[in-house]
């Protein structure tokens, strides 16, 4: 069994997904899963919503709503946005009894085998409310990269920032109140114990430069103990008597959540599982690949891998396809400032195939990239809709005049085209920008071929257009669905005759 498990970590349930999220992990994960299935591989795509991060509490306070309502509303919006953009999720994991039990079982096992320790940790403390502050509750400077941000994982450099280490910490909700420091005893996971295994692991998996840089800085010094529990009330109650009244640190739900989302995905596709972590067991035949922003990488790739190593008997993720920030008109997307484009609003105005193509072409794989509506419209017209509609018109002229012969030269060209697409889709060097650029190049070539087509070469054109559509199908989902009865790859590359079929147009 060769099953691909594709996971994009659940975003915090404090609002809808904007175009920046979609252009980051979500579209890439969808394209990856679609390509795997079209190539005959079993693929499961899991994501969901993170319900326990305290960003929900601070966002709800700003909006004047209950955090429980905000997270339910966000989950509903996100499901609709993903569906609108054609991002086909199999398992959508939120909170609930089954998930809570998985988290408990996971940490019971680590706790039972002596992999967790108690440790006294210093937190900023708000005397007026008697609260310890962590993650979204406290802002300040990152001690590593000096950027302003929240405690937890630094959004700028991706390294873990203990709340007590923030430079000039302030309460997020009560920024004018003075803070004290107080100590609390929490459970931690000593990650440094697994250094040798982690070093060997990162030496063998492929990484994009941003992730390689993050891993190198993390491994340059001792790996800090990672918190497993926190002295706060928002979250899943921790069942350990040595830390009464604490919750599981939300960043540390990621590994059991990944198993949960995988199980939901498999069940949606008809599997009946004996255990919720069945598809993560070492002999399950699963290959796990994460699609995630750099700021989510540390807890999954470093701490998660170290925990799976401690537990033993599980698969280790094969790869993390990371992304950088996607900006809107050269500024960060910001829901609170209204500097945002929602996928659902855009899809109401522009056909989603055009949006998907443009997000692929501008995907922030190696560096920050930028979205503007003008670029979307201009680039789709010159590289996609214009050439495609001319090619489709040329093929239409031969409908009802088939079957037409396909030359050996055209078969070789079609086969080379399929390989060129595969170079971008295959996991080890997966790249949406590479696929989008191949798509535009090949379409440009077919456009020139169409302009010069004669009765002798019409079969060659129609055959190559069929192969092209299959190769483009993971991105241009509606066009492919309208044109082809199936989208298996590589299709009839070796066919020596073709029956031309009427082709749909792309709306401008």
For 205-236, give one letter per residue: b (16+ CB within 10 A) or e: bebbebbeebbeebeeeebbbbbbbbbbebbb
The strand pairing partners of 93, in sequence order, are 48
Q: Are the C-beta atoms of 387 and 446 separated by less than 8 Å?
A: yes
16, 27, 397, 450, 462 from 454: Cα distances, Å: 51, 39, 11, 9, 12
Residue 100 sits in the site that holds Zn ion (CB under 5 A): no
Q: Which region, judged by CB under 5 A, interacts with Zn ion, from 142-150, 244-252, 439-447, 486-494?
A: 142-150
Q: Using DSSP, state whether 454 is helix, strand or coil.
A: coil
User: Taking each helix axis from N to C terminus, what angle separates 432-451 and 458-472, rounded to the nearest 10 degrees?
Assistant: 160
In angstroms, give the least distance from the CB of 36 to Zn ion. Answer: 35
In angstroms, give the least distance from the CB of 3 to Zn ion. Answer: 36
Q: Which region, judged by CB under 5 A, interacts with Zn ion, from 65-73, 152-160, 174-182, 201-209?
A: 152-160
Residue 366 sits in the site that holds Zn ion (CB under 5 A): no
Among 144, 339, 379, 492, binds Zn ion (CB under 5 A): 144
Residues 474, 469: Cα–Cα separation, whole Å = 9
- Give the number of residues written for the chain: 508
Helix and strand numbers, DSSP H then E, in the chain: 18, 21
The CA-CA-CA angle for residues 67, 71, 76, to 5°, reads: 150
Among 59, 95, 121, 154, binds Zn ion (CB under 5 A): 154
Residue 162 sits in the site that holds Zn ion (CB under 5 A): no
Q: Which is nearer to Zn ion, 33 or 154 (CB)?
A: 154
**Token pair for 294:** 């750099």
For 107-135, give one letter per residue: b (16+ CB within 10 A) or e: beebbeeebbeeeebebbbbeeeebbbbb
Residue 307 sits in the site that holds Zn ion (CB under 5 A): no
Of residues 42 through 81, those in contact with Zn ion by CB under 5 A are: none
The alpha carbon of residue 109 and the mean position of all alpha carbons in its chain are separated, in whole angstroms, by 28
Q: Which region, judged by CB under 5 A, interacts with Zn ion, from 7-15, 91-99, 136-144, 283-291?
A: 136-144
Among 63, 104, 145, 440, binds Zn ion (CB under 5 A): 145
In angstroms, give the least distance from the CB of 160 to Zn ion. Answer: 9
Q: Which is nearer to Zn ion, 144 or 366 (CB)?
A: 144
Where is 349: in which H helix or E strand? helix 343-349
Q: Which region, judged by CB under 5 A, interacts with Zn ion, from 19-27, 41-49, 72-80, 140-148?
A: 140-148
Q: Which is nearer to Zn ion, 243 or 301 (CB)?
A: 301
Q: Which residues contact 29 (CB under 8 A, 6 or more apart)?
A: 6, 7, 8, 45, 47, 87, 291
Among 4, 157, 188, 477, binds Zn ion (CB under 5 A): 157
Q: Which is nearer to Zn ion, 152 or 256 (CB)?
A: 152
Q: Which is nearer to Zn ion, 96 or 143 (CB)?
A: 143
Q: Which is nearer to Zn ion, 156 or 433 (CB)?
A: 156
Q: Which is nearer to Zn ion, 148 or 396 (CB)?
A: 148
What is the C-alpha R_g of the chain?
25
How many of the chain's residues bind Zn ion (CB under 5 A)? 6
Q: Which is nearer to Zn ion, 205 or 219 (CB)?
A: 219
Residue 142 sits in the site that holds Zn ion (CB under 5 A): yes
Residues that bind Zn ion (CB under 5 A): 142, 144-145, 154, 156-157
């Amino acid at each position: 069994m060769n099953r691909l498990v594709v996971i994009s970590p659940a975003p915090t349930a404090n609002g809808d997904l904007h175009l920046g999220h979609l252009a980051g992990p979500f579209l890439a994960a969808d394209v990856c899963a679609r390509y795997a299935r079209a190539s005959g591989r079993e693929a499961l795509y899991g994501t969901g919503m993170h319900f326990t991060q305290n960003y929900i509490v601070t966002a709800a306070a700003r909006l004047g709503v209950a955090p429980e309502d905000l997270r339910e509303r966000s989950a509903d919006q996100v499901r609709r946005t993903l569906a609108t953009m054609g991002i086909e999720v199999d398992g959508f994991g939120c909170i609930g009894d089954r998930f809570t039990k998985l988290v408990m079982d996971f940490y019971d096992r680590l706790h039972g085998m002596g992999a967790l320790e108690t440790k006294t940790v210093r937190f900023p403390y708000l005397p007026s409310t008697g609260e310890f502050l962590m993650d979204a509750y406290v802002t300040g400077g990152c001690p590593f990269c000096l950027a302003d941000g929240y405690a937890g994982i630094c959004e700028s450099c991706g390294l873990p920032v203990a709340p007590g280490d923030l430079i000039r910490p302030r309460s997020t909700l009560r920024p004018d109140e003075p803070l004290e420091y107080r100590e609390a005893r929490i459970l931690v996971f000593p990650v440094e114990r697994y250094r040798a295994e982690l070093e060997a692991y990162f030496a063998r998996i492929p990484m994009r430069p941003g992730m390689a840089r993050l891993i190198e800085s993390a491994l340059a010094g001792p790996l800090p103990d990672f918190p497993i529990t926190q002295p706060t009330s928002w979250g899943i109650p921790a069942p350990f008597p040595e830390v009464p009244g604490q919750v599981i640190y939300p960043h540390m739900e990621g590994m059991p959540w990944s198993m949960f989302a995988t199980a939901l995905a498999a069940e949606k596709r008809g599997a009946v599982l004996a255990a919720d972590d069945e598809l993560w067991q070492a002999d399950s035949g699963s290959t796990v690949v994460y699609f995630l922003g750099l700021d989510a990488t540390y807890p999954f790739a470093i701490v998660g891998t170290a925990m799976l190593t401690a537990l033993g008997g599980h698969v280790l993720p094969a790869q993390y396809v990371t992304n950088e920030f996607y900006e809107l008109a050269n500024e960060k997307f910001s829901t609170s400032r209204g500097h945002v484009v929602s996928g659902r609003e855009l899809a109401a105005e522009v056909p989603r195939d055009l949006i998907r193509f443009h997000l692929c072409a501008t995907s922030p794989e190696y560096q920050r990239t930028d979205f503007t509506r003008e670029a979307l419209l201009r680039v789709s017209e010159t590289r996609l809709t214009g050439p495609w509609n001319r090619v489709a018109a040329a093929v239409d002229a031969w409908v009802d005049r088939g079957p037409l012969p396909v030359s050996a030269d055209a078969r070789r060209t079609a086969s080379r085209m399929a390989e060129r697409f595969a170079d971008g889709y295959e996991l080890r060097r997966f790249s949406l920008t590479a696929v989008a650029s191949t798509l535009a190049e090949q379409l440009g070539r077919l456009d020139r071929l169409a302009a010069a087509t004669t009765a002798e070469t019409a079969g060659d054109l129609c055959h190559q257009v069929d192969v092209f559509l299959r190769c483009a199908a993971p991105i241009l989902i509606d066009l492919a669905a309208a044109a082809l009865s199936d989208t298996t790859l590589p299709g009839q590359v070796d066919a020596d005759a073709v029956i031309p079929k009427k082709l749909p147009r792309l709306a401008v």
